[in-house]
Amino acid sequence: MESDSKTQNPDPADAPWPVGFLLFVGAVALYLVIRFVDLGIKLVRAIF
């Protein structure tokens, strides 16, 4: 799937999604990862 999209859209400017949308998705994913890591640290501290 990734190689197929690369052959169809070799230029980053021709990406199917706008850059702002990709940045928004990346920011949300990073926020969720930080939240899960924080919850994991709190759980480890509570258990040990």
8 A C-beta contact, residue 37 and residue 31 = no
In a domain, 33, yes or no: yes
In a domain, 2, yes or no: no
The DSSP 8-state label assigned to residue 14 in this structure reads G
Per-residue model confidence as pLDDT tens digits over 6-45: 555 555 555 566 888 999 999 999 999 999 999 999 999 9
Supply the pLDDT for residue 13: 58
- Give the domain extent around 47: 17-48
In a domain, 44, yes or no: yes
In a domain, 10, yes or no: no
Q: How far apart are the two ends of the chain, measured CA to CA in Å?
A: 44
Cβ partners under 8 Å of residue 22, min gap 6 = 15
**Cα dihedral sign, 36-38-40-43:** negative
pLDDT bucket at 48, cuts 50 / 70 / 90: confident
Counted domains in the chain: 1
Supply the pLDDT for residue 8: 57
In a domain, 5, yes or no: no
Kind and range of the H or E run holding 43: helix 19-47
Higher pLDDT, 48 or 21: 21
